[in-house]
């Protein structure tokens, strides 16, 4: 049981770190998307290079969307793992209590 508890503790630590990294990534993605929205009028003023700028902005938006999806998926997996470990720990604690009785 000791090794299993240590493994659970490590998994929970990694899950917490993944959740924090995921939140940071989501905030960064939101900041990038907000920046593009706020600066779009200024960006569109560049008449001479408008087509090139629009291609670059479209590529950036696609990358931001992909990064947001990856961060969302990683957050979901971390939460699911954390919840699974919590259920296992709770179940083991109940089993220990019943065995002690």
CB 19 within 8 A of CB 78: yes
Query: Bigger pLDDT: 1 or 54?
Result: 54
- Angle value at C-alpha 91, between 99 and 10, nearest 5 degrees: 115
What number is the average pLDDT over the span 9-20?
A: 87
Confidence of residue 8 (pLDDT cuts 50, 70, 90): confident
Report the alpha-carbon distance of residue 31 to residue 58 in Å, rounded: 16
Asked whether 13 and 59 are in contact (CB, 8 A), the reply is no
In tens, the pLDDT along 20-51 reads: 999 999 999 999 999 999 998 988 888 888 88
Distance separating alpha carbons of residues 61 and 53, to the nearest angstrom: 12
User: If pLDDT is split at 50, 70 and 90, which confidence band does 76 have?
Assistant: very high
Counting the structural domains of the chain, the total is 1
Determine the Cα–Cα distance for residues 15 and 43; give it in Å rounded to an integer.
40
Residue range of the domain that includes 73: 2-100
């Amino acid at each position: 049981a000791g090794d299993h508890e240590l493994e659970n503790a490590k998994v929970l630590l990694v899950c917490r770190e993944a959740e924090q990294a995921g939140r940071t990534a989501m905030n960064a993605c939101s900041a990038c998307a907000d920046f593009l929205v706020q600066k779009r009028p200024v960006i569109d003023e560049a008449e001479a290079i408008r087509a090139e700028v629009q291609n670059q902005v479209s590529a950036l938006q696609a990358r931001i969307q992909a990064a947001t999806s990856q961060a969302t998926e990683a957050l979901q997996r971390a939460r699911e793992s954390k919840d699974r470990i919590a259920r296992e720990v709770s179940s083991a604690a109940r089993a220990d209590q019943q065995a002690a009785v």
